[in-house]
Amino acid sequence: MGHIRGARNIALDELLPGVAAVVPDPRHQVVLVDANDKLSHQAAAILQARGYTWVRVLRGGMRAWRAANLPVSVRGRQG
């Protein structure tokens, strides 16, 4: 469990309004992360079709992040 510190959890069915609320300028970077990067590619295509020009997918998703022993926040605690 956990998430990357500073990340926002946005469900795929709320993607457009959710991302627009966090990143209103489609020229700013958006990095998409899910468990293993499969849904992130789908989300990237949706955002790119809506004019987001700097969309990236974290290869391997959270599984790769954890495997690299990078920090994960859990309920407000980093670990």
Which residue from 18, 12, 63 is spatially nearest to 37, judged by alpha carbons?
Answer: 63
- 53 with 23: CB under 8 angstroms? no
Q: Tens digits of per-residue pLDDT, 19-59?
A: 999 999 999 999 999 999 999 999 999 999 999 999 999 99
- Distance (Å, rounded) from C-alpha 20 to C-alpha 34? 18
Q: What is the pTM of this model?
A: 0.86
pLDDT average, residue stretch 58-63: 96
DSSP percent split of the chain into helix, strand, coil, nearest 5: 40, 15, 50
The yes or no reply on domain 12-78 and CATH 3.40.250.10 is yes
Quote the CA–CA distance of 35 and 58 in Å, as a whole number: 10
**Residue 76 one-letter amino acid:** G
